[in-house]
Amino acid sequence: MASILTNASAMTALQTLSVTNKNLATTQNRIATGMKVAEASDNAAYWSIATTMRSDNKANDTITSALGLGGGKVDTAYTAIKDAVSVVDQIKQKVLAAKNASDDDKAKIQTEISALQSHLKTSIGGASYAGANLLSTDSAAAAGADSTLSIVASYNRSATGEITTGTIDVDLKSINVIDSTAAKGGILDKVFTGADVNTVSVLDLDVSTSTNAQLDQMLTGIETAAKGLATGAAALGAAKTRVDLQTTFISNLSDAIDRGVGAMVDADMNKESARLSALQVQQQLGVQALSIANSGNQNILSLFR
């Protein structure tokens, strides 16, 4: 039936062309943005997951920065305490050499020891990073934040959305080499316990007028200090290793999250390019079909000629 009021063919062609134009707009948008899920309306579930994971990855960027700062502090302290271990060992050798030495030789040995003591004070005092010196703290500080270096190392989200953070902790009391206060409770400035040398420490011992008995007590004190330095170096070394491992892990984790998000929301440009070509052809055919359908009404006029 031919009708001038209802053109079913034109309606069908128009509906098909409308769908084609919509799909073409979607494909063009994917090509322009590089994303198949750019908004919640594209795929609400994937968009929500991707948004959450991107937020977590920003947190991982902050964690990486925190690890970098904390790692710098630990590495600086580790370098300085290793040097202190070597210097204290040299002081021990000098004190041992002073046993049964003449007063003149003891004076010369003390000159060498004094130079080493000055080096220790300078190196430990200069082991600061970002304004923090882990090797020179208050030995009398109460337990808690003041006695622990905590480096934020992880950001964790549970299945219920609860957030927790992990830390790498360093006990500052175990690595307090030179007390930052007058308490003198550090590894190197703590006084020896020997009855004859109970007013001196590694940093201010003097062999020039010391007896063999006093020198023995000094050696005992030096050994105690050396053991403390070794323990502190081990603690810092372990913390340094953990920071390095965690930094690598966070970097790999961020890359994995990026890949996962990309798999959900990134457009496959090869497919979109092929789809664009096909839709452009469909659009041209749809326009032509609509033109043919609209021309049908013109044919009705010929019936009345």
User: DSSP string covering 157-196, please?
Assistant: E-TT--EEEEEEEEEGGGG--S-SSTT--STTTSPP-STT
Nearest to 203 by CA among 90, 116, 107: 116
- Domain positions in the chain are 43-266, 269-305
Q: Is 248 exposed, middle or buried (0-12, 13-18, 19+ CB in 10 A)?
A: exposed
CATH fold for the domain made of 43-266: f41 fragment of flagellin, N-terminal domain (1.20.1330)
What tens digit of pLDDT does each residue of 29-47 get?
888 888 889 889 888 999 9
Max CA separation in the chain (angstroms):
141
pLDDT of residue 241: 96
Low-confidence ranges of the chain (pLDDT < 50): 142-144
Question: From CA 300, how far away is CA 93, in angstroms rounded?
Answer: 118
Beta bridge partners of 284: none
Question: From CA 120, how far away is CA 122, in angstroms rounded?
Answer: 5
pLDDT of residue 186: 94
pLDDT of residue 5: 62
pLDDT of residue 143: 47
User: What is this structure's pTM?
Assistant: 0.80
Q: What DSSP character marks residue 141?
A: P
Angle at 33 between CA 30 and CA 37, to 5 degrees: 60
Nearest to 45 by CA among 255, 265, 263, 266: 265
Question: From CA 205, how far away is CA 220, in angstroms rounded?
Answer: 12
Q: Per-residue b/e over 199-214, b at no fewer than 16 CB within 10 Å? A: ebbbbebbbbebeeeb
What tens digit of pLDDT does each residue of 77-112 get?
999 999 999 999 999 999 999 999 999 999 999 999
